[in-house]
Structure 1
Amino acid sequence: MTILWAIVAGLIIGLLAKLVLPGRQPIPLWLTIILGIIGGLVGNGLASAFDVGDTNGIDWIRHAMQIGVAAVLIAIVTPAYGRRRV
């Protein structure tokens, strides 16, 4: 069940990260999910390192970090993926 939640969270984080970035990111859905999962894991680690990973209520800072990391990953991978496909 944990793997299923990681995939769902990766999808949501990855799609939100693509919305944050300007322009179009022509990467497939599977790559968006993988980068979202990585962004979620790294964002959790950063939030724990800055001691904002576990707060009262909704952890908005942690979620922002997850989306931010995923957006950076998508911004890095998109040009490389586009060049590979040409």
Structure 2
Amino acid sequence: MIWTLIVGLVVGAIAKLLMPGKDPGGIIITMVIGIVGSMIAYFIGRGLGWYAEGEPTGFIASVIGAVILLAIYRAIIGRNSRIHH
């Protein structure tokens, strides 16, 4: 479990480095984005036959999943902040 959180933090941080810009949220949001991004990559990879049951997701695929999730997160948060202003 601790390893998952560490990898999630690293993957989330790399995703934020690849997509510079202002992001709401701190270390917890970064970690969640990394973990969920990795899960997205795993499920898409399994659906496409890239990963077998129980096989770990690749690091690059995890970063790609986190970048996609970060883009969606920014789109939703950006839209909500424009509505409230």
Same fold (TM over 0.5): yes
1:78 is matched with: 74
Report the aligned-residue RMSD.
2.7
Q: Is the 8 A contact 1:18 1:25 kept in 2?
A: no
CA–CA separation in structure 1 for the residues paired with 2:73 and 2:44: 21
Paired residue for 1:38?
36
Post-superposition shift, 1:76?
A: 2.1
**1:77 partner amino acid:** Y
SS of 2:72's partner is helix
Which amino acid in 1 is paired with 2:7? A
Deviations 1:16-55 (A, max 9, x none): 111221x32323111010011101111112222222226x
1:7-86 aligned at under 5 Å gives the runs: 7-21=5-19, 23-27=20-24, 28-53=26-51, 62-79=58-75, 80=77, 83=81
- Identical residues among aligned pairs (%): 21
Structure 1 alignment gaps of length 5 or more? none
